[in-house]
């Protein structure tokens, strides 16, 4: 469970795990190929394919992003609590925090931004039943600010638990899905990046300063997330100087 939450399980990024289908494909077509592969893909299909997975390393030893791990964790939570992931999210997070613009959607809402790739091509939305645990939650900056306020309240036992290092590697420390490190000045920093086709995001917390920054972009290319990180660092540095 710990390694599923931390994306350190060693499971593949997608099921079905068929990278050969994309090796010769035009990069612009890959999002559409993935969506086609997942239409009609059920939980039964997922578990069947999961049985064929062979880990190549001990969980925790080689961290790598895995949508499969997030999906599996979602299915486990639904089984344990006998509620849907949507209901659990509303009960424990979005409801108590008043995050009224955060939800699992099966079709884009009228105010939802359109995502684009590096060439300016519009990208499809990732809204499929089997991937809700890994990519189905849509939100806004206002709602994510509410979530950051929760995460900056480390007197909350659940929040404090997620900020404790549970997996350490040579170049990374991970709490419960949070990457934990320190700035050049020794300041504690918790962060995570994310994205789907045409969208990129970055959220970083500086608990001792009670500072949180969220960056959202409706464009995605190999450099987008690095640029969001760079902008967030500049904002944090500026606010630090202003405080002095």
Q: Domains (ranges, CATH) in the chain?
A: 2-243 (3.40.710.10)
Share the mean pLDDT of the chain: 90
Residue-wise pLDDT for 165-215, tens only, equals: 998 877 789 999 999 999 888 899 999 998 888 999 999 999 999 999 999
The answer to whether 11 and 66 are in contact (CB under 8 A) is yes
pLDDT in 10s for each residue of the chain, 244 residues:
999 998 889 999 989 888 787 787 887 888 888 888 888 889 999 999 999 999 988 888 877 889 999 999 999 999 999 999 999 999 999 999 999 999 988 788 888 999 999 999 999 988 877 788 888 789 999 999 999 999 999 999 999 999 999 988 777 899 999 999 998 888 999 999 988 889 999 999 999 999 999 999 999 998 999 999 999 999 999 998 766 5
Contacts for 23 with CB less than 8 Å, ≥ 6 apart? none
Q: Is the pTM of this model over 0.85?
A: yes
pLDDT of residue 227: 96
């Amino acid at each position: 469970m710990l390694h599923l939450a931390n994306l350190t399980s060693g499971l593949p990024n997608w099921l079905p795990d068929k990278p050969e289908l994309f090796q010769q494909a035009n990069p612009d077509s890959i999002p559409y190929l993935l969506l086609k592969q997942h239409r009609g893909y059920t939980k039964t299909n997922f578990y069947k394919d999961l049985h064929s997975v062979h880990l190549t390393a001990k969980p925790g030893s080689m961290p790598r992003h895995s949508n499969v791990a997030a999906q599996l964790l979602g299915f486990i939570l639904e089984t344990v609590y006998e509620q849907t992931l949507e209901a659990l999210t509303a009960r424990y997070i979005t409801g108590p925090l008043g995050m009224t613009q955060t939800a699992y959607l099966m079709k884009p809402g009228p105010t939802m931004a359109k995502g684009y790739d590096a060439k300016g091509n519009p990208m499809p939305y990732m809204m499929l039943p089997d991937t809700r645990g890994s990519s189905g939650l849509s939100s806004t900056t206002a709602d994510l600010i509410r979530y950051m306020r929760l995460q900056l309240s480390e007197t909350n036992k659940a929040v404090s638990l997620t900020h404790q290092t549970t997996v350490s590697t040579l170049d990374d420390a991970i709490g419960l899905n949070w990457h934990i490190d320190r700035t050049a000045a020794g300041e504690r920093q918790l962060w995570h990046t994310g994205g789907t086709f045409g969208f990129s995001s970055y959220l970083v917390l500086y608990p001792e300063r009670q500072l949180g920054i969220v960056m959202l972009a409706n464009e995605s290319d190999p450099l987008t997330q690095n640029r969001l990180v760079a902008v967030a660092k500049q904002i944090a540095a500026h606010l630090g100087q202003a405080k002095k």
